[in-house]
Amino acid sequence: MAEIDARLRENVHQLGELLGQTIRTQYGDEFLDKIERIRKGAKAARRGSKEGAQQLSETLNNLEDDELLPVARAFNQFLNLANIAEQYHRIRRRTSVEPEPFESRVLGELLQRLLSGGHGKDELARQLGRLDIELVLTAHPTEVARRTLIQKYDAIAAELAQQDHSDLTDNERQQISERLRRLVAEAWHTEEIRRTRPTPVDEAKWGFAVIEHSLWQAVPNFMRQADIALQAATGFRLPLEAAPVRFASWMGGDRDGNPNVTAAVTREVLLLSRWMAADLYLRDIDQLAAGLSMQEASPELCAAVGKTAEPYRALLKQLRERLRATRRWAQEALHSQTQASEAVLHDNRDLLEPLQLCYRSLHECGMGVIADGPLLDCLRRAATFGLFLVRLDVRQDASRHAAALNEITDYLGLGSYAEWDEDRRLQFLLTELENRRPLLPEHFKPSADTAEVLATCREVAQAPAASLGSYVISMAGACSDVLAVQLLLKESGLQRPMRVVPLFETLADLDNAGPVIERLLGIKGYRARLHGPQEVMIGYSDSSKDAGTTAAAWAQYRAQEALVDICKAHDVELLLFHGRGGTVGRGGGPAHAAILSQPPGSVAGRFRTTEQGEMIRFKFGLPDIAEQNLNLYLAAVLEATLLPPPAPQPAWREMMDKLAADGVAGYRAVVRETPEFVEYFRQATPEQELGRLPLGSRPAKRRAGGVESLRAIPWIFAWTQTRLMLPAWLGWDRALNNALQRNEADLLAQMREQWPFFRTRIDMLEMVLSKADEAIAGLYDERLVDPALQPLGAHLRDLLSQACACVLGLTQQSQLLGHSPETLESITVRNTYLDPLHLLQAELLARSRMRENQADTPLEQALLVSVAGIAAGLRNTG
């Protein structure tokens, strides 16, 4: 382990040295010395040195205005380079005596465990081939790095891999060193912060780029390794059409509170997706046509292409022409309504069948070794990505559908839909869903908002079924919310089934999820229209913002239990869609542990979850990292399906009820019942300044108002910047403290030992508390908060201290993360670079608030760079 750590430290040191040289070249030795004094002061201050703290404070306070931006940029880049080194460290070359990482071993070890536990080989092969995992890429606005910088960071990681060979010549090492020096300089001289907000189409293109540069390579490699592990354990291979992990997207489809996502945007993104898919397959087919020059072919293939010297090339050239026609049509359709020719590919079978024919022929003719190369990789991609690359979800708020129907019923003289009770709404909706005549007359002229809702429904109706995922209804609370969407889709011409998915978000909605689905499944007409599973989305972000993570986590768990039982009773398959964010406060944390902590029966071979913002880059940005994370998802879903966790004991449930009640009371006592809380929040954090950061295309607020109007992401992002991390732990302090006061420590320890759900919650709480920092949060208060409000800040820091003490008592440790020295060391190393950024940010916020019209000034740029740097240093930021 010491050698591994030494190699990581060596890479961090090397990149830091190169950055230092770049800074010296631009600003000179004196400026670089100042950076080094700040770094050393921060390091000494962390070790308790008063002199170090004084040196750090004095150096930062004495910075000239024109030094603020380059100092912020220096520490931001140090943290980004440390991230690159750490990310590469996870996938670096290993010697023959070093063990493979857990992520690479996990599936093979699980299959052996399952076999030892009595599961049959054919059962395991069938179950693995049938798994249905869908990762839904979302564009939540915490991805602060620009795409051009991400590409440079990926290139730096590639060069680290190049130099990780023991047999390099001196000349080769020198060339790698020069390329690294050049890349670090390019990154330094590239502006970190976008000047303008990305559009929804920009966000979609960013998602496509992740597929093109990483997942396109990672998926076939991941499938190859899964195939090898399955064959080694059972003797069976994965079917050619198996696609246990697929991808969907909200980029260009999520219009909840985002007026920038329109029906026209959704159409454009769907076409861009088809263009990109055709373009990527064309690259594969060109490579295959060049390689498959063999003459011998099966009678089936010869019959398909006729007499030719190179039958495989002849078949692939036909497919290539159809892909070109598809790409050409998608390009033209972006600019005008263009009729697709017969050559355009619409059905994925038309892509798969020629490839499968080549594959069968090669195997029949004794050339299986050729078939199982790039051709198999292309087949795996075709099964996973299809002709549409990702399936686009559509999301809209329930109130928008209700408003549209209210306008329609009012126009038709039927009364006010908005004023009807649930029974009256259901009666109307069910009658109209069964009615063969249209509800809307052709001359109906809706308002702009209703016209947009109807236009979106028309785009859904016209798009190929395989290009779309689900229609998600945010803030759903009743059966009528689901039926309203079905009626609007019917009126827009949809003549095929589509999953319409209620999203239960607040604490009350989660508690009501079971009764709503129970009533929905009891409706005869609804059951007739339900093709496939009943999908339900569980909201993590808004439930946590509403009630705190203690009560929200237990409500999410109980909602899932209820939904499993209800769907089982109705003999309907259930698909749970988990709206998890990147942070603990939004349901984040290691996916493997999270999946294994779900209620028994809730992961039955199916799993759907969001992957958001910066977490997409950290988990899927590099092919090897993506492979590791895909392995974790595959193994976790297989294990949760075949080895589900135990159901909680009655005593555990009773304890969680008490913890949740205390947790929500403690959380709301601060957030809702403290009159000065909102004002303190706005003074102590960069919440208002974050609204100026050109991150995502979506506004930071749903509407005007206080904390309740904020989206969950900026709410958590703001507290993360100050290191108070309040949304992730507030409520746990009271809940755990009360339990310990009741002498229930032994029961808590038993729950942590035997119940994966509770263990995962405590592990995530411990991780976020280890990143929280009372002293840093206190510095923001000293510099930014009115004296009259500072006692509230002191109280919150006291609650943080109590939460830490409770977790230490529960885990029987003297230090948070004492059981995980590597993670602790990673946080410690980052603090050396984070501390100056926090101090600098507090100073920049103070200066910015004293001046007006700071947009596009060096001070404003430095402030935004500090936000980006802290986000990079803490990783799971929003």
Whether the Cβ atoms of residue 250 and residue 393 lie closer than 8 Å to each other: yes
Whether the Cβ atoms of residue 635 and residue 642 lie closer than 8 Å to each other: no
Catalytic residue (one of 34, 205, 401, 545): 545
Whether the Cβ atoms of residue 581 and residue 616 lie closer than 8 Å to each other: no
Query: Which is nearest to 736 in space by CA: 633, 823, 663?
Result: 663
Rounded-to-integer distance, Cα 407 and Cα 444, Å: 10
Q: CA 465, 575, 352 angle in degrees (round to 5)? A: 40
Whether the Cβ atoms of residue 769 and residue 804 lie closer than 8 Å to each other: yes
Does the annotation count 545 as an active-site position?
yes
**Position 796, amino acid:** L
SS3 of residue 451 by DSSP? helix
Q: Given CA atoms 96, 101, 106, 109 in this order, what sign does their dihedral have?
A: positive
Does the annotation count 34 as an active-site position?
no
First to last CA, the chain: 32
Query: Which is nearest to 687 in space by CA: 658, 662, 717?
Result: 717
Whether the Cβ atoms of residue 487 and residue 454 lie closer than 8 Å to each other: no
Rounded-to-integer distance, Cα 374 and Cα 379, Å: 9
Instruction: Give the alpha-carbon dihedral of 101, 102, 104, 105, to 10 degrees.
Output: 120
SS3 of residue 461 by DSSP? helix
- Axis crossing angle, helix 821-850 with helix 858-874, rounded to the nearest 10: 160
Count of C-beta atoms within a 10 Å radius of residue 28: 10
Token pair in block for residue 62:
């004495």
Residue with the two structure tokens 């590469």: 88
Rounded-to-integer distance, Cα 511 and Cα 134, Å: 26
Rounded-to-integer distance, Cα 333 and Cα 350, Å: 21
Rounded-to-integer distance, Cα 377 and Cα 379, Å: 5
DSSP 372: I
Whether the Cβ atoms of residue 186 and residue 148 lie closer than 8 Å to each other: no
Residue with the two structure tokens 């990143």: 771
Residue with the two structure tokens 């999301």: 395
Rounded-to-integer distance, Cα 698 and Cα 787, Å: 35
DSSP 342: T
Strands (E), 586-699: 606-612
Instruction: Please give the C-alpha separations between residue 355 and each of 42, 315, 361, 377, 383, in angstroms, as whole numbers.
Output: 59, 9, 10, 10, 11
Whether the Cβ atoms of residue 511 and residue 558 lie closer than 8 Å to each other: yes
Whether the Cβ atoms of residue 592 and residue 630 lie closer than 8 Å to each other: no
Residue-wise DSSP of 127-176: HHHH-EEEEEEE--TT--S-HHHHHHHHHHHHHHHHT--TT--HHHHHHH
Catalytic residue (one of 34, 140, 771, 838): 140
Whether the Cβ atoms of residue 404 and residue 488 lie closer than 8 Å to each other: yes
Q: Given CA atoms 422, 424, 428, 431 in this order, what sign does their dihedral have?
A: positive
Whether the Cβ atoms of residue 138 and residue 612 lie closer than 8 Å to each other: yes
The residues that are catalytic are 140, 545
